[in-house]
Amino acid sequence: MIAPPSPSSEFSADKLKVAVYPDRRAMGEAAASYVARHLLQLLANQGEARIVVGSAPSQDEFFGFLTSPENVERVDWSRIVVFHMDEYVGLNADHPQSFRAYQQKHLLSKVTPKIFHPISGEALDLEAECRRLTDLLTEKPIDLVCLGIGENGHLAFNDPPAPFDDPEWVKVVELDAACRRQQVNDGCFPSVADVPGHAITLTLRLFREAAKLSGVVPGPRKARAVVAALKGPITQDCPATLIRNHPDARLFLDVDSAALIAEDA
């Protein structure tokens, strides 16, 4: 097995372990190596793994390395159940901007999990879709969440302010202006007007109760959200601060996303 890249620096923010890498490629490779090793351990210990993954350009390098030939050969995806975090209301699975299309391109075209549970954004009864997903998520514990952080500090589509103690597991949300602008900044839509106004999202309860969190956050546009998440008060006004109190969480950054963090952190 090839050794993963070494971080430029490492530190902790409360319980959260943070590693900074010199570029996006090294960050993605290190995160993928970390997740692959953990999946192997889960499969060895319990025979199956249940994971949740994000869908965004920020995750491209991570998925690229996670589905590399070496990792595909090592990890038995036929024993892994996969959920994704969110989906735009009104988009079907074939829409190029849907998150199911993202998962098909970056994960499902390269590995075949035991089950992939898609979120149906085009469902006629959205509340029923939320209940269906809740039932699936709560059948057994979630072993791992592979996450990103939004420019406004969101996790999944839990835009601020987002309750840490949400009683729901899945719900329909209205996307705020900063979240919709990020989708344009990421090159996913030509204008804010083209971004759907609502989405189905897994709530912060999922992140709070999952056994392990692994986050990948690259790029200069994420720098303000990263410093708020790591240095600011733990508050629903920055949902990503939730991960600082999680008992088993790790965050992978590149130098651009870590640019506002003091060197002596």
Per-position DSSP letters for 91-119, written without gaps between them: --TTSTTSHHHHHIIIIITT---SEEE--
- Write the single-letter amino acid at 31: A
pLDDT for position 64: 98
Assign 54 to helix, strand or coil: coil
pLDDT for position 3: 84
Average pLDDT on 98-118 reads 98
Task: Tell me if 149 sits within 8 A of 222, measured CB to CB.
Answer: yes
pLDDT for position 205: 98
Average pLDDT on 87-107 reads 97
Share of the chain above pLDDT 70, in %: 98
Among 224, 231, 47, 230, which Cα is nearest to 140's? 47
pLDDT for position 72: 95
pLDDT for position 1: 59
CATH code reported for the domain at 23-221+237-245: 3.40.50.1360
Share of the chain above pLDDT 90, in %: 97
pLDDT in tens, 67-83: 999 999 999 999 999 99
Average pLDDT on 190-217 reads 97
The CA-atom distances, in angstroms, between 226 and each of 152, 160, 232 are: 10, 14, 9
pTM for the full predicted model: 0.96
pLDDT for position 109: 98
The CA-atom distances, in angstroms, between 154 and each of 37, 146, 151 are: 27, 14, 7
Task: Tell me if 146 sits within 8 A of 52, measured CB to CB.
Answer: yes
Task: Sketch the domain layout of the chain as residue ranges.
Answer: 23-221+237-245
pLDDT for position 131: 98
Any idea what the Cα angle at residue 68 is, between residues 62 and 72, rounded to 5°?
110
